[in-house]
Amino acid sequence: KNQVEQSPQSLIILEGKNCTLQCNYTVSPFSNLRWYKQDTGRGPVSLTIMTFSENTKSNGRYTATLDADTKQSSLHITASQLSDSASYICVVGGYNTDKLIFGTGTRLQVFP
Amino acid sequence: DTAVSQTPKYLVTQMGNDKSIKCEQNLGHDTMYWYKQDSKKFLKIMFSYNNKELIINETVPNRFSPKSPDKAHLNLHINSLELGDSAVYFCASSQEISAQLYNEQFFGPGTRLTVL
């Protein structure tokens, strides 16, 4: 069964600290992995998209890594800001299909 | 300019009613989607349309019927609303998948549906 699991479910950190979110997936055949940020009351916004041949991709203070062999990905947030408080969703795309499999997300709260 | 817009943002209605949610994208994309996000924040695809043609139809009750008058619009009509339909519904759009290895999807702001 195609699944995407994320950990932790929720995370609280202080402003300025770094954090890492984890994603494991069982989607096959695999094509791409995305990380989305979803602010409360808003739609998801894409942070990074990686194909199976990419190991890492950065978008400002966000750095995503992908290990297609172990089917794991991580999202590292550097020097967190209050505006980073949101849900972060790991999403996996299968090969030659529009259908995406969504994880349940990690709820990040950044406190001053 | 809003890329993907949905109306209304909030919808409160009684069980048994029929309601519609509208979605429009001004990105020139060929493919549009409807997703349902439940109370556990889990997003699941419901439908996908490419150039007004249905290409993904997940296991969704036939009370839900998407309508695409043109490729910039994908509306969602729901008949005989039930309590379990309460959720946030997101519209999204993307370029046609054959154009690239993957297609970035752009989401609308969501419509929170509450069925009483």
Residues of A with CB under 8 A from a CB of B: 31-32, 34, 38, 41-46, 49, 51, 87, 89, 93, 96-100, 102, 104-105, 107
Give the model's confidence band at A75: pLDDT under 50 very low, under 70 low, under 90 confident, else very high. very high
pLDDT for the residue numbered B99: 46
Cβ distance A98 to B56 under 8 Å? yes
Tell me the per-residue pLDDT of B16-43, one tens digit each, with 9 for 90 and over.
Answer: 999 999 999 999 998 999 999 988 778 9
Residue B91 confidence (pLDDT) above 70: yes
Tokens of B39: 């109370």
Cβ distance A109 to A85 under 8 Å? yes
Q: What is the number of H-type helices and E-type strands within chain A? A: 0, 11
- Name which of A22-26, A98-102, B14-18 the model is least confident about: A98-102
Q: Residue B2: its chain A contacts at CB < 8 A?
A: none
**Mean pLDDT over residues A72-95, rounded?**
95
Residue B58 confidence (pLDDT) above 90: no
Give the model's confidence band at A94: pLDDT under 50 very low, under 70 low, under 90 confident, else very high. confident
Chains A, B: CB pairs < 8 Å: 56
What residue of A is the nearest CA neighbor of B41?
A104
Closest Cβ opposite residue A98 in set B48, B109, B110: B48
Cβ distance A65 to A73 under 8 Å? yes
Q: Residue B101: its chain A contacts at CB < 8 A?
A: 31-32, 51
Express as a percent the part of chain B with pLDDT over 70.
92
Cβ distance A64 to A73 under 8 Å? yes
Tell me the per-residue pLDDT of A28-64, one tens digit each, with 9 for 90 and over.
Answer: 888 899 999 999 989 999 999 998 889 999 999 999 9
Closest Cβ opposite residue A98 in set B40, B56, B109: B56
Contact between A43 and B44 using a beta-carbon 8 Å cutoff? no
